[in-house]
Amino acid sequence: MKDVINGNDRPLVGVIMGSESDFSVMKLAAIELKALGIPFEIKVVSAHRTPQRMVEYAKSAAARGLEVVIAGAGGAAHLPGMVSSLTTLPVIGVPIQLKTLEGMDALLSIVQMPAGVPVATVGINNAKNAGILAARILSIKYPKIQERLETRMDQVRNQVVYDLEDKFYESEGSV
């Protein structure tokens, strides 16, 4: 697909995760990016199982044209912080809920980064917001993305109003 944002097929966002089992959560970021017409790549890059791959990915990200990285991880959740320590690009961390601790371990691991290694963090399993946040970061540079975000925000506002009105009219007979 030829990209209308940057004029080529170069991905602007890297969506990475610690393992294939994280895909069901991380695909929500990809869905948002695709809906906004933002080119992206999606890969498994584990801080623990494939550390050299992670280092190579993070160090080459900017040179390959990426402008934002979304990194999802569960448990110890080192991936977002490690990637942030290796690149100057903005990194958005998505804590992924595992069977134990309901994702709090991942959330605290990602949100409590040491000074100088920033990771923007969204809610547990909230890759959708990570995709939207990446789009907002890119909208500073790309006016078309800003236009699409404004349209998307209008749609969300309208849907909330319609949903509320529908519920009111449905319950009106029982009031």
Q: How many CB atoms lie within 10 A of CB 24?
A: 12
49 marked as part of a ligand binding site: yes
Nearest Cα neighbor of 42 from 107, 121, 131 is: 131
157 marked as part of a ligand binding site: no
22 marked as part of a ligand binding site: yes
Distance CA 144, CA 53 (A): 33
Distance CA 66, CA 49 (A): 23
Q: What is the dihedral of CA 131, 136, 138, 142, to 10 degrees?
A: 130
Query: Binding site: residue ranges?
Result: 19, 22, 49
| Residue stretches of the annotated binding site for substrate | 19, 22, 49
